[in-house]
Structure 1
Amino acid sequence: MPRENYQERLEQLRSDVVAMGDLVLDRYETALRAAETGDDDLAAEVIDGDHEVNTRYLELEEECTELLALQQPVAGDLRLVTASFKIITDLERVGDLATNIAEYGGDGGGIHPAVDFRELGDAAGEMIADAVEAYELSDADACREIDARDDDLDERCRRASEAVVRSLLEADRARTEADETAESDSDHLADTLDEISHALLAIRDLERVGDHGVNIAARTLYMIESDDELIY
């Protein structure tokens, strides 16, 4: 393959990875709105559209494999291809998490009154968006900044989880004190446990979205500077 065409394929690969990032972020934003509003149609849109993310992933995986096998890139070109290969895997997993998130909203919308779900969701989504932009622009400083933000998101998710458990236990205690028979109400206990589990799973998935943002930033930093400090 002529060198010009090879470089064009590398440039196109980077553009296609960024486009996949845009697609996944669009699905993720729709998932947040579905959870916020309890809109079943929006949730179905995210779930039904997951095949498009998977198809894009497989196409880019094949392109990375061909570039590695047929062109045998070295140095910076090799790091670009291998980083892209890892990044599309993280993006595909964010797409999977979006399908989970889309189903978390109750009939009236929202996850739990003790949690600002939208704020957490936006923070995690911004990490993905900024990591993809850092990859597009080869911005090493942005990669390190994204990694630093992850500790804050983790702490916010931890506090949100504690708030969910605390508020539900307090509500259950209040109901028990108001009605002695509530202690033996197994249906009520099951509902309480389901609500706790549902909210905690939602928070966990948002934290994982942020983790994938860090993964993308880590692979991008390695691509730019051959620096693995964020990978390990």
Structure 2
Amino acid sequence: MARKGFQQQLTELRDNVLYMSEIVLDRVRTGLRALETKEEALAREVIEGDHEINGLYLELEQECIDLFALQQPVAGDLRFIAASFKIITDLERVADLATNLGDYTLQASRDMYPDVDVQGIGREVVEMVEDAMAAYAEEDVEACFDIDGRDDGVDERCERASGTVVRDLIETEIDDDSSDAEIEALMTEVSRLLLTVRDLERVGDHAVNIAARTLYMVDNSDELIY
């Protein structure tokens, strides 16, 4: 009976980690919608909801610690708990990046660079996290390698986006008639967009981390861990 109870605890942990991922991804999607629509209410929803994610993270962290301490798992069970512990950390950090999107929305006055496809990058990294969590749920090794490969494309896309912003900034003519306020506003918008692209790239990196921990969990392989 004790062993059966332990296996049920492991199942519940998996379900809880997946539940956390659903909430986190909903926060990212809301942050992206806020950026697109400039809706302050959506931005504040993401920012003010961060405490819920932090609370859930702490609960799951304690759940993992209790399983380590009280059940003394070995082999595959040990790797599963360790991987789950690392994955909830990545999810918590993705939620922090979603909060940043809310903050950027409140700072934004206009879209200066419509050619930078922030929404497209955002959809791509959200899908990567979704697929990484599906790989975790289904113990899908092939999907882990696929997610790692897709990250290179995201990195290239983000690099091009950042390059576009910097190039346009260099080409922008700032003459003697430009006020300090106008120059400061320009630099603020450029900085905001570069930070947005950087944070979305980091979401993709966390998806790879989740895939790496899943691979470790299933095959005891650290090939994708860096």
Partner of 2:43: 43
Q: Does 1:141 pair with 2:137?
A: no
CA distance in 2, matches of 1:195, 1:48: 23
Q: Does 1:70 pair with 2:70?
A: yes
CA distance in 2, matches of 1:158, 1:145: 21
Q: Does 1:188 pair with 2:182?
A: yes
CA distance in 2, matches of 1:27, 1:192: 28
- Give the CA deviation at 1:198: 0.8
Q: Does 1:228 pair with 2:222?
A: yes
Deviations 1:48-107 (A, max 9, x none): 111111111011000000000111100000000000000000000000000101232334
CA distance in 2, matches of 1:193, 1:208: 22
Q: Displaced runs of 4+ in structure 1, greater than 4 A?
A: none
Quick check: 1:143–1:220 contact (8 Å CA) kept in 2? yes
- Give the CA deviation at 1:186: 2.7
- State the one-letter code of the partner of 2:170: L
Could you tell me the percent identity over the aligned residues?
55
Partner of 1:214: 208
Alignment of 1:79-94 (within 5 A): 79-94=79-94
3-state SS, counterpart of residue 113 of structure 1: coil
> Closer, same or farther in 2 for the Cα pair 1:2/1:111, shift >3 Å?
farther
Measured on the aligned residues, the alpha-carbon RMSD in Å equals 1.4
Partner of 2:5: 5
CA distance in 2, matches of 1:52, 1:181: 48
Partner of 2:20: 20
- Structure 2, gaps ≥5 residues long: none
CA distance in 1, matches of 2:189, 2:182: 11
Normalising by structure 2, we get a TM-score of 0.95
CA distance in 2, matches of 1:45, 1:166: 34
Quick check: 1:34–1:103 contact (8 Å CA) kept in 2? no
Larger Rg over CA atoms:
1
- Structure 1, gaps ≥5 residues long: none
- Give the CA deviation at 1:136: 0.4
Q: Does 1:33 pair with 2:50?
A: no
Alignment of 1:55-66 (within 5 A): 55-66=55-66
Alignment of 1:104-119 (within 5 A): 104-105=104-105, 106-107=108-109, 110=111, 112-119=113-120
Deviates more, 1:160-169 or 1:67-76: 160-169
